A and B are shown apart, each in its own frame.
Chain A
């Protein structure tokens, strides 16, 4: 497709369960970013992948969060033992380079009940 694709668009999960969020970036975009948007915290940067390089995980909010990117393309963000404060919209963005801006996906709305 032409845009950044994220799935699922909505996810309701019980507290304590694990969830996996998927991002399929625009073909040819080597940079991929995950952000979280919540009412209380606004838009927060989580993690960045450049191609196949190992990411800097320091932006992840806790060790329950992990992310990987396979083959320099699709990325998954995994949240283990979900908590209610994890409820937010998780946005993925990709970029061909910093000069070109970032294209955001439509996000995954995660609700932990």
Chain B
């Protein structure tokens, strides 16, 4: 059974600081997704990582994937208040038929 673990689950940080969210998964996969969810809203796709060593950046967010270590990171650079949200990683175990397995999410609060 595929397990996806995120840490930390809760993070409070100040604007301007850098931080990294970690996503570990238990079985082989080369498809990893990062989503953002604002309170009461649906999931917004941030990154799709499709191969070992993949790195993608959008604004102050950068995601990477190491399939050998079964680890993905979401790095936040010079955080701003607007990035406050819950961030989920999700792993595709293969074929699409099993859907995505999600981590529990990281609740991020960025204080001015």
What residues make up the interface of A, taking CB atoms closer than 8 Å to B? 31, 33, 35, 42-43, 45-46, 48, 50, 56, 59, 91, 93, 95, 98-107
Judge whether B99 and A33 touch: CB under 8 Å.
yes
Chain A residue, CB-CB nearest to B34 = A101
Report A-chain residues with C-beta under 8 Å of the C-beta of B97: 48, 50, 56
A sample of 12 more A-B contacts (CB under 8 A), given A45-B99, A101-B45, is A31-B96, A42-B102, A43-B100, A43-B105, A59-B98, A99-B48, A103-B45, A104-B42, A104-B43, A104-B44, A106-B41, A106-B42
Bound form: Cα–Cα A102–B104 in Å = 18
> With contacts A31-B96, A102-B33 known, is A45 near B45, CB below 8 A?
no
Bound form: Cα–Cα A45–B95 in Å = 14
Report B-chain residues with C-beta under 8 Å of the C-beta of A91: 42-43
Report B-chain residues with C-beta under 8 Å of the C-beta of A103: 45
Chain B residue, CB-CB nearest to A89 = B42
Which one, A35, A43, A45, A107, contacts B98 given CB within 8 A?
A: A45
Shortest C-beta distance, B92 to chain A (Å), equals: 6
Shortest C-beta distance, A97 to chain B (Å), equals: 8
Report B-chain residues with C-beta under 8 Å of the C-beta of A95: 96
Report A-chain residues with C-beta under 8 Å of the C-beta of B90: 43
Shortest C-beta distance, A75 to chain B (Å), equals: 14
Interface assignment of B55: CB less than 8 Å from any CB of chain A: no
Most buried by B among A46, A59, A102, A104: A102
Report B-chain residues with C-beta under 8 Å of the C-beta of A46: 99
Most buried by B among A31, A50, A98, A99: A98
Chain B residue, CB-CB nearest to A95 = B96
Judge whether A105 and B42 touch: CB under 8 Å.
yes
Bound form: Cα–Cα A46–B90 in Å = 15
Judge whether A98 and B105 touch: CB under 8 Å.
no
Shortest C-beta distance, A82 to chain B (Å), equals: 22
